[in-house]
Chain A
C-alpha cells in the first residue's frame, strides 16, 4: 500500500499566477501564463520548457532527488564544480520553478499523477517506453487528465529502427547529414565543440506543444507530441544539400572556409566553383558574403574599392567588373585571383576595424564573434538584450541573454534564475498540493522528493 494513500482526498490548489515572497517569478503576465508545464527532460530538452516559461507558462522542472544530472555539465560559476553552479543548467532552466521527485517510487508516481491532473503539458526526454513502464504513459495520464499534451523529445522518435539508439550530440550531428558537410575537406567531418544538435528537438517540441494547446482549446482534448531531433536537424542542412541529391544525384561535400557553389556543368553534370566565405583576419576571422546579384553589387564593389584605396588590390581585383561576374560561369582561377587580395587585406585589419568599415560602406561582412565581442556589441546593448538576473543565493546578479524576441502586448522575458535543487518543494508540495509537513519530511527521508 502506498504511504500516500491518505492524501488522495486532498484537493490540488491551483497555484497563484504570480507569486511574491522570496521567489521572483513572473514579472508580468505572458502569453502562456494560464498554462502549467511539467518538465521531466534532461539536457536535451531543457530549452523547450525554458521558452514556454519565458512566455509566461508556469514551468515546473522535476528533478531526481539530489539534483538533475544536467547540473554536472560545465562550465561552472567561478569554476566551482557544484550542482548549484552549472552554467549550462542556469542557462536553460531560467523561467522555471523546481521540485525534486523520484517517479520510480510508488509515492513519486502518485504525486506525479496528482501534478498531472492540473498540468496542461508534460515534457519528457526519456528512452521510448520509459514512462509507460512506470504506468505514466499517455494512455494512463490522459485518463486522469484528457486535456494533457504529452510531449516526448528523443534523438530519433518513439518508434522506428533507430528509436532505441543512443544519440549524443555528435551522433545526431552525423546522422542528420550535418557533419558530412562541415569542416575542412582534408580532415574528418567536424561537429561543433558546443552541443547544439538537440536544440532542434527541443524547439520543435515547443512548436508541437503550441499546436496541440491551440487544438485543445477548440476540442478540449490533449494529445501526444513525438519529436525526433534528427529530423529537425536534418532539415537544417537545407535546400542545396538536399536538392542537389534529390534532383541531380550530387553529394555536397565539406569545404571548410570555402563556399562551394554548385552550377550546371557540361554534359548535364553538376560542376562547382569554390569561393572563400570565411577569411582569417588580424585577430580572428570574418565572413564575407560575395554573392553577386543586383542587390549585392554595392557590397562587393565597396569592399573592392576599400582594398584598392589601401593599395592592396592585385591586378585581377582592380580589373574586375562585378556586374559581369556570374558565379554560374566564372572559372576557379579567376575567383582565386580576385579573392586573393581580399584575404591579404583582411589580414592587415582587426575584426573591429573591418566591422566598422563594413557598416560605413555597406559591405556584407560580419566578424566571427566570441562572447566577449557580443557583450561589446552596441546594437544588443541599445536594445537592452542583456538582462541582469538576481542570484540571491550568491548575493549577486548575473548578465544573461534576455528575451528571444521583443513583444509588446504580453512580454517575453527571462522571469527568474534557474531553480536550486528542490527550491520550490515546500511551495508546491505544501502550498499547492496540500501535502502536510509531516508527510513532506517522510517523503524526503524516503528519497521520494
Chain B
C-alpha cells in the first residue's frame, strides 16, 4: 500500500526563495527524496531575509515557511569544476530537477535540458523564473514582491478614489508554485506510465495571468479595462466589509438573492426594511448603496464580528470575520483542517507556522520535515549517495567545493 506515493522518486532542488522550495516541498510531502543544493558562497537568499526569530540573523520566517518538508541539504559550488562534476553525478541519481535560476545559468554549467537528458534520458526538468526561459527577459531578475504589479492583481485592489493599494507582500509567490506542482505531478504520472521525461518552463508571470483571464478577454474583445470598486460587487448589495465592536474589528457580509436580503433584514431586526421601496429590489439597493451600507454599519458596530458571522450564516446569509493573524491561528475550521503544524528546529526551536498539503486525501498520508541547516546532509549525500571516501569528502571541504 503506497501511502506515500512518491516514495522512490528522487529530486534535486536548485531553487531559492519562495516559489521553488515550496514546489519541491510538495514532492517531499508525499515521499520523494529531495536534495536541496545551496552554493557555499551564496546560500539561499531567504536565509538572510528578516523578520528573524528572536532577531537572530539567519532564523528567517521567510526561509522556514516554504521548507516544511523532509529534505537533504547540501552545499555545492557548481562554478568549481569538481563541483560541477559532482553535480552531474547527482543528476544521474535524480528523476526530477527543479531550478529557479534566471536564463543562462544552467546553460553555463551545461545543465540545460538537452545535456541533462544525455545523463538521465527520462529526467523531468522544471524551471521557474519571472519571465520564462526564452525571450528578451529570460535573464531578468525579479521577485514576487513586484510581480503582483505585472500580473494585474494590484490594479484590482483599490478604492475608486485612491491609487491602488495592491495585494499584500509577494502574492504571486503563492500562485506560481501551485501551477508548478500541477505541472510537476502530471509529469511524474506521465513518466510513470510512459517512461518519458518532460521539460517544464514556467514563467511566473504567465501562470499568474491565468487567474485574471476574464479581465484579459474583456480587453481583447471589448477593449475594456477593469475598474476597481472597493469591496463592492456589481450584482450584490449589501456587499462589503463592515466595522464591528472592538479595536479594528470587521466582518464581511455579502447578500445575493432576494431571499438572502429578507433574511439579512430579519437578522438586523429590521424586517420591514426588506420591503422598503429604497431597498426592496437589487437595482434599488445598488442605487441607494451608500445609505444601505450606513445602515449595515450601524448594526454591525454593536456586535462582535463573530456574532455577526454566526447570526448571518445561521440565517443563510454569507458573512465572515475579517480574521487577523491571531484569529487565523485560532480559527476552528482551520484547526479542524490541520492547517498549522508545529516543527522543532535545532536552532530556531519550535514554531507552529508550518503547513503540509492544503487538501486532504482519504488514502494517502504525508510527512513533514523541518527547514534544513546549511549543508547539514553533506556527509550523508557525498559519502552514502555518491559513495565518496571520507578523504575525498574532506578534500571537497578544504578545497571549498562544498
Contacts and interface: CB of A to CB of B under 8 A. Distances in A.
Given A161-B333, A192-B156, A223-B361, A380 B206 contact: yes
A237 B163 contact: no
B155 interface: yes
Interface residues of B, number: 160
A219 B7 CA distance: 13
16 contacts: A156-B333, A168-B256, A174-B320, A179-B250, A194-B226, A214-B188, A215-B5, A217-B189, A228-B358, A239-B66, A247-B353, A254-B165, A293-B45, A371-B216, A401-B210, A405-B203
A211 B66 CA distance: 19
Contacts of A208: 357, 359-361
Given A246-B353, A366-B142, A196 B153 contact: yes
Given A193-B228, A253-B248, A408-B201, 7 more contacts: A179-B252, A182-B168, A207-B182, A374-B216, A379-B205, A383-B131, A412-B183
B364 A191 contact: no
A54 B92 CA distance: 30
Nearest to A377: B150
A226 B168 contact: no
Contact of A240 (B62, B156, B232, B318): B62
B346 interface: no
B241 interface: yes
Given A225-B360, A238-B174, A246-B329, A328 B149 contact: no
A370 interface: yes
Interface in B228-264: 228-234, 236, 239-243, 248, 250-252, 254, 256
Contacts, number: 525
B146 A365 contact: yes
A174 B150 contact: no
A200 B165 CA distance: 22
B192 interface: yes
Nearest to A156: B333
Q: Which of B136, B145, B187, B240 has the most CB of A within 10 A?
A: B145
**Contact residues of A: prevailing secondary structure:** mixed
Q: Which 8 A-B pairs have the closest CB atoms?
A: A243-B61, A239-B65, A371-B219, A160-B336, A264-B55, A91-B213, A171-B320, A245-B325
B104 interface: no
Q: Which of A91, A192, A210, A261 has the most CB of B within 10 A?
A: A192
Q: Which of A263, A284, A368 has the most CB of B within 10 A?
A: A368
Interface string B135-153: 1110011110111111111
B179 to A, nearest CB: 5
Given A203-B178, A372-B225, A166 B317 contact: yes
Interface stretch (B46-54, B275-283, B375-383, B387-395): B46-54
A409 interface: yes
Contacts of A293: 45, 48-49
Nearest to B9: A214
Contact of B149 (A194, A210, A214, A369): A369
A200 B171 CA distance: 12
B231 A75 contact: no
A234 B187 CA distance: 27
Contacts of B250: 174, 179-180, 188-189
B136 A379 contact: yes
Contacts of B137: 359, 379
A214 B75 CA distance: 32
Contacts of A361: none
A289 B185 contact: no
A245 B329 contact: yes
Q: Which of A187, A364, A404 has the most CB of B within 10 A?
A: A404
B164 A278 contact: yes
A31 B5 contact: no
A184 B165 contact: yes
A165 interface: yes
B129 to A, nearest CB: 12
A215 B206 contact: no
A218 interface: yes
A398 B221 contact: yes
